Each structure stands twice: as structure tokens, then as C-alpha cells.
Structure 1
């Protein structure tokens, strides 16, 4: 009897471990992963190593490794929203082809060609649509480094080439059909045959993860996803990218929560809490009528942007189509103040575009936003209306009453935005509108009795003041997986004081706890890195917290009022503290930090006294986007705080701040909000403030 037959005849195999976790979300297929280790009770026969499928930790590690490999990819093409773009990282490129370039450097000049090959989904024949020739100057810095400088380029097809530091971005001047498929080859001047170019796709798909799980033991030891490596480029629209990003984030959060379950003793199996964009897919939260309205607008937006600028049209051809289709534009421009002001203004402008059916266009001078957030609309100024800065030149040969004259208006909105209502079609008849501001009018547009849009929003779309802002927010953009991976590294470790990002995230995802988000606004100056004084942290924490005692008292009262709720749902209240003051967070953590013992214990063992607050907070400083020298980092940290704060079940915010307010509205918890001024003394032994009134505070919503 051979080894396999003898092995199969063994009786008494015991399954010693089986871990099943579900990827649950609205409208998405449930994926079931299970782990089995089979061990014979009695056997003296040598067995081959059994296949042990990756744990949740293995998979999270794999995500981070795949993302780091993506960052090291020298060639990254995209075929988004009908347009083809090639991105070449010269530093990584020099590393990939170091040996060749070292030999090439005898002449100091190297010729490199990229061939873009296209075929249709229904055919197998490929043909070149564009040969791009790049000429580099090569300089050897040392035995490991080579510097490349682009000297010149030419192409067989019209392109735009941007050379930013060591990044070359090549835009092909044509809009392609979504049925097109691309692949690419490259060739050095002295090589006879072109070679295929491979790159890594992102974000990782569920199908790719499943294929990883089905590999042999030898392949899984590689700790990589071969299925993420590709040489085929398919089209993806803004909505497809948006959905793919959300799916990837949900899967990644499932893994984070699985780790939390594995760390608790005794283990309790619960589904993790849904995050706001998952909640937004529920028609009981954002109505079917609303979701259809958004879908119809997005489809109209996608088709129209392609129709008026297919990449090869002249401005006169574009103008003709704009006039024929009576296309009207609404351009959002950000304010120079903080994140909250910018996004509150953004959502209000987006709502106006929806209500008036204008083509929504995004601010061209906010690149860090689209690095961190994925928009569901193709709203890039450069692709849709690249001529907007030369509007005066385009109109100079036409009278202002001429049909071909492109009328425009730029409007600044201040506090009047949420104190009065507008008939936007009547007040702003111009074809091109540019809206600037720092305030919000979403609640006013739906809530005011004088609003001409109220009936449509409340009766036709079945929306209300509790859900309208959050539903708009999550229909327009979503937080990228790449940012979550950057903010929550796999090997997170808790600092001596405070908590790691991973610890905070896993606690907020757990339905075992009832997180109360508390935002204490101390002022913009506290977020200036030049004013962070470490020595002041040696002061008595209790004395320091006395200045903000009203927030402590209010939080305790909120918890006391909901004791029966916590007992009924078997949930433990904890505080997630968000503050622009580094000192407030450190002082509070020194006195009231959530302990690891409570984190790992069962719910009953960790029942908290309502008079004691267990605080969850990051010990790291935060920076204001308008005051810091590193605005990208400030925005990254700010958006992560917003993401975390939106996971809380209840919110206590600073009245003089939009940051906590808009996060609470975006959370879609649809609960009343508690609000305090910095030194305001008032009781919180009540039901809080309805969102309909909070939406008018400070800069509005």
C-alpha cells in the first residue's frame, strides 16, 4: 500500500482548529475562509507537511507587503475614465535596470522606447497605438546608484509629458473605448526584441486573496500575491474605482477585527460594527430613491464628460458640444482654512450640482485630497475643461449676448449660506459657476421652510436632516486602503502612553464596546509644530484637565444616563478622545487611559464605573493644514482622525469647531449630538441636540 493510501486509511483524524470569518457588507458576496489542521492520533508513518492556510495576521502582513511592492513599481499605467496615463519613476527605474544602464553610461546617453499595444475585448490581435521614445542622460553616482535625467522625448501619437522631479507622467491625447485592452512592451536601443512590461494592480481584490489561499504550501511561503502582478490593463471608471476601494477597505477591516477576536479571552464571536460607507448602502439609512438619484447623476456625469472632451477635440469642437447639450458647470474651490471648512463647503457645493444638474468639477489645486480619497466622479479639471484658465481668450471674439459666449460667475459664500435659501438656477444663470467658501448649507437647503428644494429632498428622496449630509459624503468619496495601511502599520506597538492606531481601530470596530467620541477644540495655534512645548507635559495632569472639566463632567453624565442601554446590549462604554491639543490628550491619558487588561478581558470583567472614564487616544501631535510646513502629512493625519471619529456611536463636540461636527454628521449614527463651548458649564443629563439644530452652529453643515 503506498503512502497516500495508508494515510487515507488512518482512522481518528481530529480537526483541531477551524476559523471562519465572513466578509459582510451590503450588496457584496459573502466570502468564507476556513483553516484546518489535520493531525493523526496514532501513526508511525512520516507525513508530508500539511497545508496551513494563512491567518488574519498573515493576510494583513500580505496587504502591507503588496502595498510596499506597489510603491516600488517603476512603471504604473492607468486606464481611467477613458484616458490612458503612464507613470515612470526614474529612481526605481534606474534600480531595476542598473546593470544595463551602467554599461550604457560609457556614452552617457541611453535610448528607451515604450510601445503601447491595444486590442479589443472581442479580438486577440494587438497593434501599436503609440511608440514613445525617451532619451536619458546617465550619470553613475556610486556602485549602487545611477542618476537618470530626461533629455528629450518624441512619440508617434500626441502626448503630454510632465517631468516632476524623478517622476515622468505621460498622458495620451485620446479618449479610448472602455472595450479596449492595453499591454506594453519596452526596448533599449541596442536590444533586438521588445520585452513585456509587468506591474502590480491595486487595490487587492477578494478574488486575488482567494487564489492565494488555494496555492500550495511552497507558494504561500513566498508571502506574495502572484495574481496582483499583471501586464494587462483594463478600463475602470471613477465609480468602479470607488466601489473597488470600498470593497478592499471592508475586507481589510474584517482582518483587523479578526485579530481583535483572537486576542480576547474568553473569545466572543460578534460581527464587527459596520463603518459609515457600509451603513450608507442600507436603504433604511440612505433611501433607495436617494441612491437612484445619485446613480443617475453619476452616469450622466460620466457620459457627458466623455462627450464634451474625448481627448482629441479642439476647443471649438468642445464649445459646440457644450452649447448643443446646454452643459452647465459648477466648480468647487477649497478655502485656505482647515479640513472641516473645506469639506463642509465641498459637500454643499456637490449638493447644489446635483439639484441643478450641473457638471461638478473638483479643485485643481488640492492634489493631496485625491491621493488620500477616491472620488466617485471623474471631476478632474485638467481632463474635462483644461481651457478654463483661458476663458477670457476664448470669449474675446464673441459678444456677451452671443450664444457661443461662455458666461461665468465666481461666488464667495460666508455665513449667509446657512441663514438664507437660494433658487440657484434663478440667482446664478451663468453657464460656468465657481463657488468658494468655508461654510455649509446642506441642512438649510433641506430644513428651511423657504427652500424650493425641501419638498423634493424630503418627499421625493425620503431624506432628512439626520442622514442627508452623511449620505452625500459617502456617495462622493471614500477613504483609500493605501492610506489606512500607511496609518495602521502591521507591526503596530503601543507607546508608553496612549494607544497605537491599530489598537484604536480594533476597539472602535468592536460591538463589544460603545465608543463615545469626545472632541475638545483648543485652537489652531496648538497645532503649530513650533508651539508644541514638551516641557509643559510635566505639569500636574489633574490640574491641566481642570481647564476642560466641563467635557469630563458632560461625558460622565452621558454615560450615566445610558447605563441601562449598556447593560441591555452588554456593551462597555469607552471614550475616544480627539483634540487638537497634544497636551490635553497626554494629560488625560496619564489619568484615564484604557488599559490592556480591560481590552483583553471579557465584557463583564471590564464593566466600567460611570464615574470612571477609560480613554482611548493617540499620543501623537496633530497639525493644521494651513499652519504646518507639511500640509500633506497634516491632511493625512486629519482625515484619519475623521475616519476614526466617525466610527464612534455617540459624539460630544466643541461648539466652536466644524471638525467634530461634520465627522459626527458623516458617521450616519443619526443620534443627537452633545455640544460644549470651551468653558461652558451646562448639564448633559438630557438627550442632546438634534442634528437639525446643530447643523446651524458655527460654520454650519
Structure 2
């Protein structure tokens, strides 16, 4: 009996030990899982949700790698506004075939056939509609270095071709239906079989991203082929400008979510709860709120966009003659407003653009973009058709064409170019009466949006304020965000993941992530010294600057912090200063005195000191390029437009009165708050000195 009791006692102890061991293993398993990022994938009704773990920083890297893969690929087709265009990178195409050429490295490929195949509702099978033959000479120096010389082309359909560097662009002239679909094949000389083109989807689809994550729980250094299979397609479908615009906005919003998620220094990040605390919204997201941009206004914009698309379609058939197009324009009574950019800075161009856009809306004119601004189209996606060569291919040679047309058409094709000077921002216009011509070309660098809605004698005031329920605080921003959005590809390049700034200032990604965080209250300061500081940035960077001249901007920000001290304490927000300046020395000096410490970017650990007696400056220390005074206008526009995007994320704005860059950004931000407008070296305090947007809109040639 005693022996049995001892055996039972030993079994009980063993059971307890096993139970403790299982508990420890379970605890370690849970702790290990909680230390990873959680992604929730789709699940069937018979199974529980699948949890996939991956850091947000890894997802941002995934975007960058996908973009790099796309840009290196050889084929980019587009079916946009009923026309098909193809872009081919022949260097990439040829490199893909180097394995075939290993046996004969001196072999020259001089011919490739590209076939366009179409399907429709009537014929669901794809059938060839165009064969394109491209002739060129290829020199293969080694298995990594390739060059080619384009010689000629011919095709079985009408098309136009442009050749720049290693890129060949093809525009097929036939107009297609929105329900049409396309495939494309290619065949090298000497090959007896055609190959099907595939290309990367862009913007990157979140469904593809999650599909990849469901198969890869661990981050890898390179993307597997399964991801590129998911993100690539071989069927081309139709897109309007509006559809591309919405798609771009949705993609950028998700990417901003990832940026904010990556800034949270924690090991758990859940896409089904992304982010756990709402990040600060970008202006284009704020504009979707009916309380900010009223529904009546949004309907007005949407109706114009639909009309713009339909009219563009009706008058841009490339298979018709110019005379037939003119006849169609007269029959439909289409009137044009052509925006002509100024030769000055980004702010001048944008302010003039938005005012021209408003006039086109008010007068129901077809807005046409400036043809000579490639960097704009590269950085910004528009909700309107920005391809003037498609809509008005005759414009560049209109004078010579008109001579051969009938008098009726000539008399109906009236043209007027008008340059707006300084009177625009304070003068009333009746655009129907003052500009009756069919084709208007507006030039200038001034703005009239605020005056159009604020002036008691404006003939458009009642319509804008009563019918559309707009006001001086929201009209510019609602207009701006209804036509422009930043491209995801350019956003990724401007704010690369894990970017480290070894210089004095902060990296672009650190700035973006801090401005997105609701834990901070960002106050934007923009100090403009003059264009000369940008022209001679390198030569003056080592010169001393009288920093005391700009003390009033920082004193003003300190006043704002004191005035809102209770708010910051109640909301647990930390006030920071995002500093923009055309003079690199101002930013460098401010950073040496008050740089926001690195600990503040570890957002989840609350290590950022909340000391309202000490300014905390967020800024980069890189020189600024002026778009009109540099040989690299593309980079200047990219840097400038994304500086304005960052500045628009600030909750309060302190700007230089003589500068228009900070002012137009404050209006476009849709914060709808008073602005502090300062002159250099004057006004030491900002206590109760803010200016309403209606007042600021009349400063320095208007908004």
C-alpha cells in the first residue's frame, strides 16, 4: 500500500514538471510571436485567420524593390483615354537574351517584330490587329554591356514613334473602346516562336503584397520570382485619367500608412489595424471629407472631369483629318483654355495653374496643360487628360493649317494669348465677356482664386459661396487636391526606407515619419532669403550668416508653443518645428542649436523630451535647387514639390511675407488656420498676430 502511494506521488510530481515545461514553452512561443509583426490574411470559413509577421520597414523595402524591378523591365504599355501607347527599353530586352548570345557574343540582332492583339465583347479570343517591325543594330561588347542604334520601323497600322536614349515610345493612332483588351507578343529574327510580353502592375496592389506575405513569413534579401508573377500581368485594360488619379491616391495612402507604421518602434505591426493610432492625414485625404470640400463642390468637379474626358474623346480621333477635327470642335462648340507656365519658380507656376483651372471650370472650357513641362507629368498625376498632343495635335502648327481651311472654320478658330500681370489678384473679371475667343492661352505668375470668391463685386462670388458652399479658407486647397496628386513612384524615391542622414540634418524619411505622427504637433517655418542663395548655395555654405536677423521666426514659434501649452499637455503632444529655407546656412545653424534628437524617432518608447522652453528643429541640411536657375530642372521640381508636401503636413504655418512658396503650400494643406506672415528682421512677437487666409491671399501677387 505504501509502495503504491509512493508511485502515485512520483507520477504527480512528474505530471507537474511536464505541465510546467509545457507552460514555459507556450509562454516562449507567445512571446516570440508577439515580437514579430502581424499581418492578417484571408481565411476560408473552415479555418481561423492566418497571421503573417513582417516589419513595416520590410514592406517599404518591398515597394522599393518592386519599383526598381519595374523600371528595369523592358516593356510598359498603357491604354489611357482610349489610346494605346507602348514604351520599350531595348537595352533591357536585349540583356534578357544574353544567355542565347553566349555562344556568339559578336552576333548582332537587327530586327524584332512586336504584335498587338485585341479582344472585345464581340470576339473574346485575342487576334492580331497590328504588326510592328523595329530595325536596329546591336553591339555586344561583353555579356553585361550592350548598346544599340535604332535604324527604322514599319508597321501594319498607323502609329508614331519617338526614340530617346534606349527608350522607344510607340503611339498607335487608332481609337479603341473602353471594353477592349490587349496582349502583346515579340519575336526576334531567327526565332521561330513568339513570346508573350508581361509587365509589372503599378501602383503596387495590396492584394499582391498580402499574397506574397502569406507565402513568406520571413523577410528575405531579395524578392522571389513568385512575387513578380503576382505583380505582373499580360493583359492590358483601359484607364481614364480619373481612374489613374484615384488609384494613385489609394496607393500613396497605403504607403503613408506603412511609413507611419515603420516609425513606431515596436515589434508588432498589424495591417488589419494599420496604424493603431491614426496618423496625420495628407491634404488629398483631407479633401475627401465633405465637411472640408463640400459635396456640391465635389460633384461640380466630377461633372467637369467627366465632361473633359468625353469632349477629349470626341475631338481627338487620330484617324480624322485636322479639318474634320475642327469641324467637330465647332459643332460641339468646344472652347479651350491653354495653361502656359511661367519661367519663375514652382509656387508661381502652381498658383497660376490653379487660377487657370478655376477659370476653365467657371467657363466650361477644356483645360489643356503646358506641353513644355515634362518634370510636372513625371512627378504629379492629374485627374484630367494631360496629353495635349492627343487632344490638340494641331495646335503647334495652327497658323499654317488655318490658311488652307474654309473661311467658316477660320472665322470660328479665334485665338487670344493673354498675360496676367500684377492686377490679377485684385481685379474682377467676366471671363466670358473679357475673353470671347475660342482658344485662350493664359500666361502669368499671379493668382486670382481668393479675389474671385472674396470680392463683393465678383460675378462668380454667389455661385462659389452659396451654390457650392465654398469659402476663402478651403477653395484653393480643394481645387489643388482635386486635380493634383503625387505619384507613388516619386514618393518612394524621395523618401527611401532606412535612409540615414550622416550630415547635420534629418533624413527625408525621418522628417516624413515625424510629420505623420499624431504624437507631434508640427509647426512649419519657411524662411525665404532670395533666389541668389539657391544659385550660389555651394559658394555661400561656408560663409557666416547673421542668424539674429531671423530670430523673429523662432520667437514666433515659441510664442505659439506657449499659447498652446495647455493643449499640448492635455493631448500629450510634443511641439516640433519643421524648418524650410532656401538658405542652407539658416537650417544648419538652427539644427546646431535645437536639433530634434534621435530618441524622438523611437515613437513607442516615449523618450522624446517634452520641454516647451526648448525648440526642437526638424530639417534637412541639403542645398535647395531653384527650378529656373539649375541645369537639373527635374530634380529641382521633385525636391521642391515634396518639400511643399512635407510643409503641408504641418498644423501651423509661419511664412516669409515676400515668399509665395510657403503661402501656396499653406493654402493647399487645407488646415484652414490663420497664417503667421513675417518680414525678415521685424515683428519679434506673434502673440495674437496671425492673419486670416482671406487676408494672406492678397499678399505678394495673390493666391
Q: For structure 1, which runs of at least 5 residues remain unmatched after alignment?
A: 1-9, 22-31, 37-49
Maintained 8 Å contact 1:512/1:603: no
Q: What is the match of residue 27 of structure 1?
A: none
Q: Deviation of residue 550 (structure 1)?
A: 1.3
Residue in structure 2 matching 1:526, options 526, 533, 552: 533
Maintained 8 Å contact 1:407/1:431: yes
Q: What is the match of residue 251 of structure 2?
A: 248
Q: What is the match of residue 565 of structure 2?
A: 563
Q: What is the match of residue 451 of structure 1?
A: 458
SS at match of 2:265: helix
Maintained 8 Å contact 2:339/2:356: yes
Residue in structure 2 matching 1:375, options 382, 400, 421: 382
Q: Give the 3 Å change call, closer, same or farther, for CA 666–20 of structure 1 in structure 2.
A: farther
SS at match of 1:262: coil
| 1:112-133, Cα deviation, whole Å (9 max, x unpaired) | 0000011125753111111000
Q: Deviation of residue 558 (structure 1)?
A: 1.5
Quick one: distance in 2 between partners of 1:364 and 1:444? Answer: 28
| 1:365-422, Cα deviation, whole Å (9 max, x unpaired) | 0011000000000132101001011211232246877675310100001111111010
Q: What is the match of residue 411 of structure 1?
A: 418
SS at match of 1:223: coil
Quick one: distance in 2 between partners of 1:204 and 1:402? Answer: 47
Q: Deviation of residue 601 (structure 1)?
A: 6.2
> Larger deviation: 606-615 or 269-278?
606-615
Residue 329 of structure 1 pairs with residue 336 of structure 2: yes
Quick one: distance in 2 between partners of 1:400 and 1:105? Answer: 63
Q: What is the match of residue 16 of structure 2?
A: none
Q: What is the match of residue 600 of structure 2?
A: 598
SS at match of 2:326: helix
Q: What is the match of residue 512 of structure 2?
A: 505
Q: Deviation of residue 104 (structure 1)?
A: 7.7
> Larger deviation: 369-378 or 130-139?
130-139
Question: Which of the two has higher C-alpha Rg?
Answer: 2
Maintained 8 Å contact 1:521/1:579: yes
Quick one: distance in 2 between partners of 1:220 and 1:588? Answer: 40
Residue 261 of structure 1 pairs with residue 268 of structure 2: no
| 1:558-603, Cα deviation, whole Å (9 max, x unpaired) | 2111112212222111000000111110111011100012333679
Maintained 8 Å contact 1:334/1:346: yes
SS at match of 1:379: coil
Quick one: distance in 2 between partners of 1:71 and 1:97? Answer: 18
Quick one: distance in 1 between partners of 2:216 and 2:122? Answer: 34
Q: Give the 3 Å change call, closer, same or farther, for CA 416–631 of structure 1 in structure 2.
A: same
Q: What is the match of residue 47 of structure 1?
A: none
Maintained 8 Å contact 1:529/1:628: no
* TM-score, length basis structure 1: 0.90
Maintained 8 Å contact 1:51/1:217: no
| 1:603-658, Cα deviation, whole Å (9 max, x unpaired) | 97645433321000011111100111111111110011011000000000000011
Residue 388 of structure 1 pairs with residue 391 of structure 2: no
SS at match of 2:187: strand
Maintained 8 Å contact 2:41/2:51: no
Q: What is the match of residue 176 of structure 2?
A: 176
Q: What is the match of residue 325 of structure 2?
A: 318
| 1:42-74, Cα deviation, whole Å (9 max, x unpaired) | xxxxxxxx9853221221111000000011011
Q: What is the match of residue 276 of structure 1?
A: 283
Q: Deviation of residue 84 (structure 1)?
A: 0.6
Q: What is the match of residue 113 of structure 2?
A: 113
Residue in structure 2 matching 1:358, options 360, 365, 370: 365
SS at match of 2:501: coil
> Larger deviation: 249-258 or 114-123?
114-123
Q: Give the 3 Å change call, closer, same or farther, for CA 217–576 of structure 1 in structure 2.
A: closer
Quick one: distance in 2 between partners of 1:273 and 1:33? Answer: 22
Q: What is the match of residue 91 of structure 1?
A: 91
> Larger deviation: 138-147 or 319-328?
138-147
SS at match of 1:232: coil
Q: Deviation of residue 683 (structure 1)?
A: 2.6
| 1:208-234, Cα deviation, whole Å (9 max, x unpaired) | 223223335599886353321111111
Quick one: distance in 2 between partners of 1:52 and 1:285? Answer: 37
Maintained 8 Å contact 1:110/1:137: yes
Quick one: distance in 2 between partners of 1:305 and 1:451? Answer: 30
Q: For structure 2, which runs of at least 5 residues remain unmatched after alignment?
A: 1-21, 43-49
Q: What is the match of residue 6 of structure 2?
A: none
Q: Deviation of residue 304 (structure 1)?
A: 0.7
Quick one: distance in 2 between partners of 1:364 and 1:640? Answer: 22
Quick one: distance in 1 between partners of 2:168 and 2:221? Answer: 35
| 1:451-475, Cα deviation, whole Å (9 max, x unpaired) | 1000000001111000000000000
Q: Give the 3 Å change call, closer, same or farther, for CA 682–118 of structure 1 in structure 2.
A: same
Q: What is the match of residue 434 of structure 1?
A: 441
Q: What is the match of residue 127 of structure 2?
A: 127
| 1:77-120, Cα deviation, whole Å (9 max, x unpaired) | 11111111111112222322234467787674521000001112
> Larger deviation: 484-493 or 362-371?
484-493
> Larger deviation: 232-241 or 10-19?
10-19
| 1:656-694, Cα deviation, whole Å (9 max, x unpaired) | 011000000011000000001122225310151000010
SS at match of 2:248: helix
Q: What is the match of residue 696 of structure 1?
A: 698
Maintained 8 Å contact 1:101/1:110: no
Maintained 8 Å contact 1:113/1:188: yes
Q: Give the 3 Å change call, closer, same or farther, for CA 218–695 of structure 1 in structure 2.
A: closer
Maintained 8 Å contact 2:41/2:214: no
Q: Give the 3 Å change call, closer, same or farther, for CA 213–585 of structure 1 in structure 2.
A: same
Q: Give the 3 Å change call, closer, same or farther, for CA 19–639 of structure 1 in structure 2.
A: farther
Maintained 8 Å contact 1:212/1:220: no
* TM-score, length basis structure 2: 0.90
Structure 2 counterparts to residues 281-300 of structure 1, below 5 A: 281-300=288-307
Maintained 8 Å contact 1:323/1:404: no
Q: Give the 3 Å change call, closer, same or farther, for CA 154–675 of structure 1 in structure 2.
A: same
Residue in structure 2 matching 1:468, options 469, 475, 480: 475
Quick one: distance in 2 between partners of 1:262 and 1:605? Answer: 11
Maintained 8 Å contact 1:185/1:195: yes
| 1:8-54, Cα deviation, whole Å (9 max, x unpaired) | xx999564446999xxxxxxxxxx94499xxxxxxxxxxxxx98532
Residue 477 of structure 1 pairs with residue 477 of structure 2: no
SS at match of 2:264: helix
Q: Deviation of residue 450 (structure 1)?
A: 0.9
